[in-house]
Amino acid sequence: MTAGAAAVAWLDRVRFDANGLVPAIAQDAASGRVLTLAWMNREALATTERTREAHYWSRSRAKLWRKGESSGHVQRVREIRLDCDDDAILIIVDQVGGIACHTGRERCFFQRLEDGAWRDAEPVLKDPKSIYGD
């Protein structure tokens, strides 16, 4: 198998959905905490592997984006894993700045269900306005 064929073979193994996307979970390498769930298309996954920085497909903006491109909170990739059904990606990352969420929190999963209502269970570490501007 040639180097080019090998490069394509690992991507061909991933079962992207009908929209060409696969869910990607980012997990902090140091703490093991789940930071976020985002979506990757083939280009995002290939770019993530090549650059060793997390790239995702923005469904709302319909474009490829590098995590931290505007905030500086880059995700440096240590490992990329594929689940047993070949339809979900896990990336183990070093989270630069300790903030993965656009709300200024460590992770996107900061809301907890309590007594039938979603409540913020984790603090804002940095005001989003100071990260992204107005």
pLDDT in tens, 41-54: 999 999 999 999 99
Q: Tell me if 118 is assigned to some domain.
A: no
Domain membership of residue 65 as a residue range: 3-98
**Per the domain annotation, does 25 fall within a domain?**
yes
Does residue 66 belong to any structural domain of this protein? yes
Answer yes or no: is 115 within a domain: no
Domain count along the chain: 1
pLDDT of residue 117 exceeding 60, the answer is yes
Q: Is there a domain that residue 122 lies in?
A: no
Q: How far apart are CA 57 and CA 43, in angstroms?
A: 9
Q: Does residue 110 belong to any structural domain of this protein?
A: no
**What CATH number does the domain containing 88 carry?**
3.10.20.810
What is the average per-residue pLDDT within 35-64?
Answer: 97
Q: How confident is the model at residue 134 (pLDDT cuts 50, 70, 90)?
A: low
Asked whether residue 39 is assigned to any structural domain, the reply reads yes
Question: Model confidence at 4, in pLDDT bands (50, 70, 90)?
Answer: low
Note whether residue 114 is domain-resident: no
Angle between helices 42-51 and 3-12 (to 10 degrees): 130
State the burial class of residue 89 (Cβ atoms within 10 Å of its Cβ: 0-12, 13-18, 19+).
buried
Q: What's the pTM?
A: 0.89
pLDDT at 133: 82
Give the residue with greater pLDDT, 1 vs 95.
95
Over range 7-31, report the average pLDDT.
Answer: 95
